[in-house]
Amino acid sequence: MYSNFYINKFFKNIFIIFIIFIIAEKSFAKDPLILKFDNIIVNLQGNFIQGGLVKGNVFPDKVIKFEDKILLKDANGKFVFGFGRNYKEDSYLEVKISEKKWLKKSFKIKKQTYNTQYINGLQKKMVTPPKSFYDRIKKENKSIELIRNLNTDVNFIFQEFILPTKGIVSGVFGSQRILNGKPRRPHYGIDIAAPKGTPVIAPIDSIVRMAEKDLYFTGGTIILDHGHGVTSVYSHLSLININVGDKVIKGQKIAEVGSTGRSTGPHLDWRVNWFNQRLDPALLIN
Ligand SMILES: [Zn+2]
């Protein structure tokens, strides 16, 4: 009896330590969420916050919809979706349960707080482009938009991301930007300041969709396609080591850090998108 009491107490303490450990771990982990649509179970895991990406799975033969878009699934029923910078507080998923019937389940999206970033000393033409550049900028934006709308059935997005370069984070996702005193579009990427020539690597496997030496705003620019609507953008590059159509693997050098385009010093601007939703790259790194 006596020894049993102590053994029980011992296990009870271990159990408590274990629970504390799980709770402590959880604040770093991505939140799980299980949604039930009648007898159809959808498992979700990710950051339910503005800028967050969620990965999920469902029986492969089920049809699932988010923001009126039917989600592409891999052979195991895995899919992804994400929430942009100003994403609303209430969101929902829909699952098709019969020919004409869809069921809807809602969930909450947390707000992020964004700071204001003042950048001065930019060349005037980079804050307000001269009219003579409008056609060029329009053309460049059009090709970026086409790539962001790709819904490729490669499954690289289910890998875990690593940072694409080493340096100091000098700009975060979502900041409101005041350029030379003029309010401009928010910053959708993270900036990593590093010396010119620092290698830039692929954060997960990808297919190269854009490799341009000189875009008006972003200078040397690469866009990688990770599948299922997720693309990532690398800007201000001084050197590009890959070509459109290449398959690159996680960790492979794709470029070098630079200061081309609208930039005040050498840094990598790294952006991630799920179609037209801008994601926070920092949330993808553990
Ligand atoms: Zn930037």
Q: What is the pLDDT along the chain (286 residues), one digit of tens a residue?
A: 444 445 455 555 544 444 444 333 333 347 899 999 999 999 999 999 999 999 999 999 999 999 999 999 999 999 999 999 999 999 999 999 999 999 999 999 999 999 998 888 888 877 788 899 999 999 999 999 999 999 999 999 999 999 999 999 999 999 998 988 888 889 999 999 999 999 999 999 999 999 999 999 999 999 999 999 999 999 999 999 999 999 999 999 999 999 999 888 999 999 999 999 999 999 999 7
In the reported structure, the alpha carbon of residue 244 is separated from the centroid of ligand 1 by a whole-number distance in angstroms of: 23
In the reported structure, the alpha carbon of residue 191 is separated from the centroid of ligand 1 by a whole-number distance in angstroms of: 5
Domain CATH code at residue 272: 2.70.70.10
- In our burial notation (b when 16+ CB lie closer than 10 A, e otherwise), range 74-100 reads beebbbbbbbbbebeeebebbbbeeee
List the alpha helices (DSSP H) in 27-79: none
Task: Tell me, yes or no, whether 84 and 224 share the same domain.
Answer: no
In the reported structure, the alpha carbon of residue 122 is separated from the centroid of ligand 1 by a whole-number distance in angstroms of: 13
Predicted pLDDT at 2 = 45
In the reported structure, the alpha carbon of residue 234 is separated from the centroid of ligand 1 by a whole-number distance in angstroms of: 9
Q: Tell the residue number behind the tokens 């450990």, with chain if given.
A: 21
In the reported structure, the alpha carbon of residue 118 is separated from the centroid of ligand 1 by a whole-number distance in angstroms of: 13
Task: Tell me, yes or no, whether 104 and 222 share the same domain.
Answer: no
One-letter amino acid for residue 71 of the chain: L
Predicted pLDDT at 170 = 92
In the reported structure, the alpha carbon of residue 262 is separated from the centroid of ligand 1 by a whole-number distance in angstroms of: 9
- In our burial notation (b when 16+ CB lie closer than 10 A, e otherwise), range 244-279 reads eebebeeeeebbbbbbbbbbeebbbbbbbbbbebbb
Q: Cα-flanking dihedrals φ and ψ of residue 170, to 5°?
A: -115, 0
One-letter amino acid for residue 59 of the chain: F
Which residues form the domain of 208?
116-284
Task: Tell me, yes or no, whether 169 and 77 share the same domain.
Answer: no
Q: Tell the residue number behind the tokens 């950051």, with chain if given.
A: 47
Predicted pLDDT at 13 = 53
Tell which of 113, 140, 162 closes a domain.
113
Domain total for the chain? 2
In the reported structure, the alpha carbon of residue 130 is separated from the centroid of ligand 1 by a whole-number distance in angstroms of: 21
In the reported structure, the alpha carbon of residue 223 is separated from the centroid of ligand 1 by a whole-number distance in angstroms of: 15
Task: Tell me, yes or no, whether 123 and 262 share the same domain.
Answer: yes
In the reported structure, the alpha carbon of residue 177 is separated from the centroid of ligand 1 by a whole-number distance in angstroms of: 10
Task: Tell me, yes or no, whether 42 and 139 share the same domain.
Answer: no
Is the CB of residue 203 less than 8 Å from the CB of residue 279?
no
Task: Tell me, yes or no, whether 133 and 188 share the same domain.
Answer: yes
Task: Tell me, yes or no, whether 225 and 177 share the same domain.
Answer: yes
Tell which of 65, 90, 113 closes a domain.
113
Nearest Cα residue to 158 out of 95, 202, 207, 205: 205
Distance CA 280, CA 232 (A): 11
Q: Tell the residue number behind the tokens 């900028």, with chain if given.
A: 137
Task: Tell me, yes or no, whether 157 and 240 share the same domain.
Answer: yes
Task: Tell me, yes or no, whether 80 and 160 share the same domain.
Answer: no
Tell which of 79, 113, 147 closes a domain.
113
SS3 137: helix
Is the CB of residue 64 less than 8 Å from the CB of residue 70?
yes
Predicted pLDDT at 124 = 83
Domain CATH code at residue 83: 2.60.40
Task: Tell me, yes or no, whether 106 and 185 share the same domain.
Answer: no
Task: Tell me, yes or no, whether 81 and 157 share the same domain.
Answer: no
Task: Tell me, yes or no, whether 89 and 206 share the same domain.
Answer: no
